[in-house]
Chains A and B, each alone.
Chain A
Amino acid sequence: MQAENSFIRMESIVKIFPPSNVALDNVSVEIEEGKVHSFIGENGAGKSTLMKVLFGLEPATSGQIYIHGEKVNFHSPNDAVAKGIGMVHQEFMLIPSYTILENVILGYEDTNKIGLLDLNRSRKKLQALCDQMGFDVNLDEKVENYSVAIQQKVEIIKQLYREVNVLILDEPTAVLAPQEADELFKMVESLKAEGKTILFISHKLDEILQISDTVTVMRQGEHVWTKPNVGLTKTDLAEAMVGRSVLFTVEKTKIEHGEPVLELKNISLKSDKVAGRMLLDDVNLTVHEKEIVGVAGVEGNGQYELVQVVIGNQFPDEGTVSVLGSDISKDTIRSRRESISYISQDRKLAGSSQDDSIQDNAFMSHHYLNDSLVTKNKILDKGKIASFADELIKKYNVVCESRKAPIKSLSGGNQQKVIVGREFGLEHPLLVLDQPVRGLDVGSIEYIHSRIIEQRDAGAAVLLVSADLDELFSLSDRIIVMYKGKIVAERIPEDTTRNEIGGYMLGSIGDSQ
């Protein structure tokens, strides 16, 4: 091995999750001090696992880590922090009802002689740090009163307070609007200027090219290559990630939309947690036949509730929901299922029964909507159900051992294909898709996107909620933006920009319409 003096060297790291899931296959990487080093790859490529090994969260099955040539053995995040390595997780590790100060000092508290907290001493130190970083917040305000972007900065400050000099950021932009991401990048730049090393995990190609000094690509647990970010292009990265050439845009032809299918009139929904807050505030929306309406918004601005109101999981305080002209406002979920297909944002919570087989998951709902699967006496027809499941598996290229395998044994992408197959197979006039490709690999995303277009072309009305602007721009015929429960903008993708949509998402542009 070269360069004894390299900063961090991970050598021949192997990580096997029992029984035989190889997450990291002999990965060796060197990290230079004071640089932004990105790790890119699809979900399941091993980039997060590699970082967890470095951070001491997951023990490696074999392999070594050297810092400044000295071999280290991390058994817990504490060991990593002691060596100056900090990590900001994708899911924030903050206590919402604690103040910023309390969150930052947790586990690192100053105490006085009799063992009580010395908040004043901690506050002084933290204030100095925030001033230095140009981070202007009230340290005694509860974290829950701040936006996701601020919370993320609190997480970063929390690491800096522990005097780390290596900061691992796990998909930090996944939860941010474009402008907020730019703010984050500025912070990353200033950290770098202070000599900190940033390890940046992402699967967004543009931002990788924008901020990295060095890029490491991973695929299926293997290290593909590490190169300095000089002259790299999106195509280089994508091909290395997927192992073949990829299309960046879905092929979509423009078609005229038809009659209205979903009509929302004056929908309002009050929060039952925070008094006086409106989750949905006078929402009016129509989705037509042969039309995909994309819903943009920073998480928590009413998109989720909008979907719940349409599928009948929540009843609005005011307003009506109609499908094909008939008012379904009072209908149950069960009866709405006669006309609405739905893909939930978290298939583990809703949309699949994880312990049940692929077959059982495939024909749920079909068992009462599709008479050919039951006998005259309303008994399930096993033979027909089996061939129904086999057909779905074949049609949607589900990679599995057999239809009898539990759905949780499949990869995320294949699970989602089963659900998509079931929902699209209902041939309903309205599809409600809440982040249908979240967490899937590029291959599965391409596939599901093309199926969504196919459904639209066949006449379906599609309501698509997504946190990914690229997805909304490539699929939608019309994009609406939600902010604080209101629809604040409505645009045709060709006539707008990501920045404009981002501005509406953050509420920094008001709409005059």
Chain B
Amino acid sequence: MNLFVEILRSSLASAIPVLLVALGGAYSFHANVFNIAMEGMMLTSAFTAVAISYATGSWVWGLVGGIAGSLVITLIFSFFILKLKTGEFITGIALNLFTTGATTYLLRQIFNVKGALISPKIVPLPRIDIPLIKDIPVLGTILSGQNILVYISLIIVVPLVFYQIYRSRMGLRLRATGFDSRAVDSVGIKSDPIKFQSLLICGLLCGLGGTALSLGYMSLFTENMAAGRGWIALAIIILTQGQPIGILLLSILFGVFEGVGLSLQNVGIPSQFTAMLPYISTIVALFIFSRQQKKKKSLAADL
């Protein structure tokens, strides 16, 4: 029982970084920008958040640093694909490789450590106990005492993203840009600024995601810490067609599988295998999704 509750508790915390990044990616998805640089944005912010938190001793500055780190990569990505019109895929791959190398290099140069930076000087995001709920058994353990970004994401970010994409003027224009940017240009709205705006929001959310990873879910930085979470987020976006509620559910599912994976280590399964679990489940989800799409089509065709 205790183990089960513990898995759920850590699932929630581990779901949040993926959730934030995927919500960010939803913006570029709807603007029809194939943003695979999210992995690099997340990794960079995970690093800068830890570094700034370490240097200033403040989680607030750490959070700001995390967002800034991600935005730098976002600006480079935007400049290349919107101004120089380079391929999104190539640019994204290049940035992902660059950030892996750069964060590893800086980690070794600045902190003189290999592999991981673990230090009491890193001030993590504060954990918040929720009155009343914290006293409920089980539920209190799962929901209360999580880091602040967990609550911000669930209570503020998810609804905000939903309303902005589907109910606001910006969202109407954003989705129109994704469908046909010429149609948007023809009514006198410039589509490139809309794409840029969507990338900036994506960068901001990836910055929150990276920070939630290195200062929230954990309190350390390891080389290549994002570990494919940016790609998982991309898979989630494709599976849900960029719908915030679907993104929320699948992100939590990812978190659960990661939690299950971690606890399976305790029963003697090698960690390399357990670490595969969330990724395998993503591939399985993609497979099932595409099968169902096909089935739906052929079912409807037979009618």
Partner of A115, one of B169, B184, B300, B303: B169
Does the CB pair A115–B168 fall under 8 Å?
yes
Are the CB atoms of A107 and B168 closer together than 8 Å?
Answer: no
Chain B positions 139 through 171: 1 when the CB is less than 8 Å from some CB of chain A, otherwise 0: 000000000000000000000000100011100
In the complex, A106 has a CB within 8 A of chain B = yes
User: Which residue of A is nearest B170, CB measured?
Assistant: A115
- Asked if B135 is at the interface of the complex by the 8 Å CB criterion, the answer is no
Provide the bound-state CA to CA distance between A89 and B182, in Å: 11
User: A96, B169: Cβ atoms under 8 Å?
Assistant: no
Considering only residues 260-296 of chain A, those with a C-beta below 8 Å from chain B are 270, 272, 275-276
9 A-B pairs, CB-CB below 8 angstroms?
A: A77-B186, A81-B188, A93-B183, A93-B186, A105-B172, A109-B169, A109-B172, A275-B299, A275-B303
The reply to whether B186 and A117 form a contact with Cβ atoms under 8 Å apart is no
Task: From the candidates B183, B299, B303, name the one contacting A95 in the complex (CB within 8 A).
Answer: B183
The B-contacting residues of A in range 65-104, CB under 8 angstroms, are 76-78, 81, 89, 93-98, 102
- Max chain B C-beta neighbours (<10 A), residue from A77, A102, A105, A117: A117
B230 CB to nearest A CB, Å = 28
Q: Is the C-beta of A332 less than 8 angstroms from some C-beta in chain B?
A: no
Q: Among A117, A158, A275, point to the contact of B168 (Cβ < 8 A).
A: A117
- Chain B interface size band reads 20 to 34
How far does the alpha carbon of A272 sit from the alpha carbon of B300 in the complex, in Å?
11
Closest A-B pairs by Cβ, 5 of them: A275-B300, A107-B187, A78-B188, A93-B186, A93-B183
- The reply to whether B301 and A94 contact each other, CB–CB distance below 8 Å, is no
- Beyond known contacts A109-B172, A275-B303: 19 more, CB 8 A cutoff: A89-B186, A95-B175, A95-B180, A106-B172, A106-B173, A106-B183, A106-B189, A107-B173, A107-B188, A111-B168, A116-B163, A116-B167, A116-B168, A117-B172, A158-B187, A275-B297, A275-B300, A276-B300, A276-B303
Could you tell me if A117 and B169 are in contact, using CB atoms closer than 8 angstroms?
Answer: yes
Residues of A within 8 A of B167 (CB): 116-117
Do A93 and B187 have beta carbons less than 8 Å apart? yes
Interface of A is mostly: loop
Contact residue among A76, A97, A107, A117 (Cβ-Cβ distance under 8 Å from B179):
A97
Contact count A vs B, C-beta below 8 Å: 61
In the complex, the chain B residue whose C-beta lies closest to that of A55 is B186
Of all chain B residues, which has the CB nearest A96?
A: B179
Residue B176 at the chain A interface, CB threshold 8 Å: yes
Assembled-state Cα–Cα distance A107/B168 (Å): 12
Min Cβ gap B197→A in Å is 14
User: Would you call B168 and A94 a contact (CB within 8 A)?
Assistant: no
> How far is B189's CA from A107's CA once the two chains are assembled, in angstroms?
6
Nearest-CB residue, chain A, relative to B298: A275
Of the candidates A77, A98, A276, which one forms a contact with B188 in the assembled complex, judged by CB atoms under 8 Å apart? A77
A105 and chain B: residue at smallest CB distance: B172
Q: Which of B261-303 contact A (CB under 8 A)?
A: 297, 299-301, 303
What B residues does A276 contact at CB under 8 A? 300-301, 303
Contact status A270-B301, CB under 8 Å: yes
Give every chain B residue within 8 A of A272 (Cβ-Cβ).
297
A135 close to B (CB within 8 Å): no
The proximity string for B residues 170-211 relative to A, scoring 1 for CB distances below 8 Å and 0 otherwise, is: 001101100110111011110000000000000000000000
Find the A residue at minimum CB distance from B297.
A275
A108 within 8 A of B: yes
B172's partner among A77, A93, A102 (CB-CB below 8 A) is A102
User: Could you say which residues of chain B place their CB within 8 Å of the CB of A77?
Assistant: 186-188
How far is A77 from B188 in the complex, measured between Cα atoms in Å? 6
A109 to B184, CA, bound (A): 13
A102 to B188, CA, bound (A): 15
Instruction: Point out the residues of chain A lying under 8 angstroms from B176, CB to CB.
Output: 95, 98, 106
Give the Cβ gap from A93 to chain B, nearest Cβ, in Å.
4
Q: Cβ of B187 and Cβ of A95 under 8 Å apart?
A: no
Instruction: Check A106–B187 contact: CB distance below 8 A.
Output: yes
Q: In the complex, what residue of chain A is closest to B188 when comparing beta carbons?
A: A78
Docked pose: A490 CA to B115 CA in angstroms? 78
Given contacts A98-B176, A275-B300, contact A106 B184 (CB under 8 A): yes
Query: Cβ of B301 and Cβ of A111 under 8 Å apart?
Result: no
Contacts of A106 in B (CB 8 A): 172-173, 176, 183-184, 187, 189
Shortest distance between the CB of B157 and any CB in chain A (Å)? 17
Least Cβ distance of B169 to chain A in Å? 5
Q: Which of B214-234 contact A (CB under 8 A)?
A: none
- On chain B, the residues within 8 Å of A111 by CB distance are 168-169
Interface residues of A in 109-124 (CB under 8 A from B): 109, 111, 115-117
Give the CA-CA distance A98 to B175 in the complex, in Å. Answer: 9
Complex CA gap A270/B179 in Å reads 25
Complex contact B301–A93 (CB within 8 A): no
Residue of B nearest to A162 (CB): B187
Which A residue's beta carbon lies closest to that of B296? A275
Interface centre among B168, B184, B187 (most CB of A within 10 A): B187
| Chain A residue nearest in CB terms to B176 | A95
Question: Closest approach, in angstroms, between the C-beta of B182 and any C-beta of chain A?
Answer: 6
Complex alpha-carbon distance, A467 and B173, angstroms: 34
**C-alpha gap A97/B182 in the complex (Å):** 15
Separation of A89 and B185 alpha carbons in the complex (Å):
12
Residues of A with C-beta under 8 A to B182: 93
B188 touches A275 (CB 8 A): no
Bound together, the chains give a CA A76 to CA B186 distance in angstroms of 9
What distance in Å separates the Cβ of A52 from its nearest Cβ neighbour in chain B? Answer: 12
Given contacts A95-B180, A116-B163, A275-B300, contact A108 B186 (CB under 8 A): no
Interface centre among B173, B183, B301, B303 (most CB of A within 10 A): B183
Return A502 CB to nearest CB of chain B, in Å: 29
Cross-chain contact B169 with A275 (CB below 8 angstroms): no
Neighbouring A residues of B173 by C-beta, 8 Å: 106-107
Within 8 A of B (CB), among A458-483: none
Give the residues in chain B near A275, CB-CB below 8 Å: 297, 299-301, 303
Residues of A within 8 A of B186 (CB): 77, 89, 93
| Alpha-carbon distance A81/B187, docked complex (angstroms) | 9
Closest B residue by C-beta to A270: B301
Question: How far does the alpha carbon of A94 sit from the alpha carbon of B184 in the complex, in Å?
Answer: 9
B173 nearest CB across to chain A (Å): 7
Shortest distance between the CB of A160 and any CB in chain B (Å): 14
